[in-house]
Each structure stands twice: as structure tokens, then as C-alpha cells.
Chain A
Amino acid sequence: MKPMVLISTQFITLKEIKVENTDLIEDAWGFNSEFCDVIDLLRQIEPIPEQCLTTSLIKKIRKIV
């Protein structure tokens, strides 16, 4: 019989777990794995404001400031 350490998953330290861009609460609920099909669809749209809208906003702000 092999010793346990040779067949078990290697432990990693807390520092090695990368969580910078992860919402741990969301991760705990498992949305990304359970609903990956829906989430992939949601990623297909990225509404952005028209350039003229931003320009007009900046003009308004310059007047105020």
C-alpha cells in the first residue's frame, strides 16, 4: 500500500490561492460553474456610451467647474 502522501492532493498555502478578481461570496454559491451557459451569453453585450454623449457631458462639467 502506498503512503497517503503520494496519492493525495498536495496542499497549497493560503497565499497561493488567487482571489484578487473573485467575489468569494458568489464563488461559494457556485453561479459561475452552474450557470456558465447563461453567463457566457451575458458577456456578449457590452453597452458603451456614444462618443458625442461623453463629449457633451465633459463640456457640461467644464461649465460647472
Chain B
Amino acid sequence: MNKLISDYELITRFIKGEEACFEKLIHRHKNKVFAYISLYIRDLALAEDIFQDTFLKVIQSVKAGKYSDNGKFISWVMRIAHNLIIDHFRRIKQMNTISNDNYESDLFNSKSFAEDNVEDDMIKRQIQKDIRNMISHLPDDQREVVILRHYAGLSFKEIADITDVSINTALGRMRYALINMRRIMVEKNISLTLN
């Protein structure tokens, strides 16, 4: 039986010199990390930079002995990504520039696209574009909770830890986010099938 090696075991083996173990960790978690960053940032090029910076920072921290297995590895990685995103927005604020999120559908590298015909593909792209717009219309704090829960797969306890709020606040933000998204769905007539 092929037993799944835990994140902690992979890190331990990486520290001991097995470089390939870190690559396994990247392959295991890259989709969640990328989903969080790309849905939050919305600028593809910038999201890709932060994605790479996140893992580079992770590896530096692991090598410096700053990682202790007191929770889930992915939760710790998400906190690093979160901090890098915050740093980015702070820099923008200092520069007093407004980011125009001209992010469009280029990011839709969904696995399923390759399997569909052109018409299905177009419909899916439109639905996905609508969903992205729906998420992007949310206030930052609500958007972050939605992304961390539904795309990064974190628990509310972990989300509360990362965003430095209580679990109740995180849950409240999620509730408001879901109410807002439903309102947007109705206003913009978004559904799983195109009308």
C-alpha cells in the first residue's frame, strides 16, 4: 500500500539533505497557494511573483530552523503568503498608487478545460469569469475568508489565526460574504448554466 508521507516528515527529510522532498511539498500544495494568491491579488504577473516568493521564503525559514510542526504546514505557508500580500499592499499604499486590476480570464488554467469542446469551454470560461468578478466585488476581509476556506481548504480556526481575528469574526465575514455573493448572483443573473 502506498502510504502518504506527512508534510512534517518531508520537511525533516529535506533538512537532512533530501532536496527532492521539498519539491514534493511544492507539488502537493502549489494549487492551494496559487489559488489563494491569484484570487486575492488578481494581477497574474504579480500573483506569480508572490507565489514564487512565498515558497522561497518558506524554504529560507525551514533552513533557518524557523519551522516547528505545531500545526499544519499548509496553514503556515498560507500565513507567509498572507504576509507577502499585505507587504505588497503596504508598498502600494506608500507609493500612493492605485492598482488597476486588469486581471482577466488568462488565469483560467483549469484542469478541465482541455477535456471540453469549444462551446463548453466558452460557457465554462464565462461562468468562471462571472464567479471571479463576484469574488472580486467582495470587501477585502470577506474575500480573503472565502478564498482561504474554499480554495485553500483551511479551517475557520486556521483562518482566524492567519488573519488575526477571532473565529466568530471569521465566521461572520464568511456569512456576509455568502450573503453578498448571493445578492450579486441575483443582480447579475449568474448561475451554473448560462442564460
Contacts and interface: CB of A to CB of B under 8 A. Distances in A.
A58 B19 CA distance: 10
A31 B149 CA distance: 12
24 contacts: A25-B155, A25-B167, A31-B175, A34-B178, A37-B182, A38-B181, A39-B178, A44-B127, A44-B192, A45-B108, A45-B110, A45-B131, A45-B132, A46-B111, A47-B35, A47-B38, A47-B108, A47-B110, A47-B151, A48-B109, A53-B51, A56-B52, A61-B23, A61-B55
A41 B190 contact: yes
Q: Do most interface residues of chain A lie in helix, strand or loop, or is the interface mixed? A: helix
A48 B59 contact: no
Contacts, number: 118
B185 A38 contact: yes
A37 B92 CA distance: 36
B60 to A, nearest CB: 8
